[in-house]
Structure 1
Amino acid sequence: VESTNRGQFTNGGNFAAQPDQLIQKGDLLYFTEDGGSTPGVYVTDGSNYWALLEAYHERYKADETTGLAFSPDGTKLYFCIQELGWMFVVERTDGKAFGG
């Protein structure tokens, strides 16, 4: 997870476009970006912002992250890359639930 300041990430990503697919879990808000240069899943606690994941390869440029969802027990995060039609399942390495 990478921290950001004013929407700009140190590795060049950003979420300067419109947030999309908002999901609140505890005190954290998970969201995707609609129309950005690096599709991904982002997190905020209202004061700080983090990139949970971002797609940097050229094939993802101008694509969109969609379908953000969590499994009922919170241990799996699901999302899709729209134009490519790919779906991903993400789990924490410690086996715990994504939380807030």
Structure 2
Amino acid sequence: MVDIAGWDAGLDQQRIATLQRLAGATFPGAGDYQRARQWAGLRPATPQGTPLIGRSGFDNLWLNVGHGSLGFTLACGSADLLASVIGGSPPAVSLDGLSLPA
């Protein structure tokens, strides 16, 4: 479960308790939620809200970044697009607007 909080990587114990309660209700018996390790990380996104997929402008450095809160949702599709481009095949959808200018 995730909580979107901008640039703040601090932990809010009330939010942690809410997330633990929700996770326990959604996935009962999946683990000991009270003993779960708590941590916070940033979820980088582009200003437009769309990821960057493709060449970076540097040799052998490819991008698949900036998915923000849709990282889990877009991971497999983004990886497939990037694999196609790296392998020299056309991607299943256009990367216009999803890649850096050449």
- Identify the TM-score tier after normalising by the shorter chain: under 0.3
Structure with the largest fraction of strand: 1
Structure with the largest fraction of helix: 2
**Higher Rg:** 2
**What is the TM-score of this pair, normalised by structure 2?**
0.23
